Amino acid sequence: MADNARAKRLADLIREVVAQKLQRGIKDPRLGSHVTITDTRVTGDLREATVFYTVYGDDEERKAAAAGLESAKGVLRSAVGAAAGVKFTPTLTFVADALPDTARTIEDLLDKARQSDEKVREVSAGATYAGEADPYKKPGDDEDDAAE
């Protein structure tokens, strides 16, 4: 089993090699300039690598990019093997990164919270306290202390 530092270095190398090969070496029109490699993770035994990617575009372009990556998997693995110089070249698995969708969901939730806060501010703009501004007893309030 390899140490974590070696797996991290190999993952970084795989990310760079795959990104460069996609940009310059693969002529598949499905893998145009709208595919971005976001992260790479390698198992502890250095046998399998998971490459996370995002695609700028709609669902149809995402499906086409996934098919293009699957068809170019052998070429990309060969490029990784030539660059890495390890005994066993890891198998590559491509996974669409959910980060952009998650970020969009979080932004939508934050917008809803901002709108809700604004509504509360509008309702409370002319409001007054039901009782006093400070309803808590303080030491020195003699009215209640004298009655006891």
Tens of pLDDT along 76-115? 999 999 998 888 989 999 998 887 778 889 999 999 999 9
Percentage of the chain surpassing pLDDT 70? 92
Asked if residue 140 is part of any domain, the answer here is no
Residue 44 lies in a domain: yes
Burial class of residue 145 in the structure, from the number of CB atoms within 10 Å of its CB (0-12 exposed, 13-18 middle, 19+ buried):
exposed
Structure tokens at 120: 């509360």
Q: Is residue 57 part of a domain?
A: yes
The pairing of beta strand 48-55 with beta strand 91-96:
parallel
6 in a domain, yes or no?
yes
Which domain CATH number covers 45?
3.30.300.20
Mean pLDDT (whole number) for 19-39: 82
Q: Which residue has the tokens 């990556």?
A: 69
Number of domains in the chain: 1
- Cβ-contact 26, 65 below 8 angstroms: no
Buried residues in 29-44 as b, exposed as e (16+ CB within 10 A): ebbbeebebeebbbee
Residue 100's SS3 state is helix
Q: Which residues contact 33 (CB under 8 A, 6 or more apart)?
A: 23
Full residue range of the structural domain in which residue 1 is found: 1-98
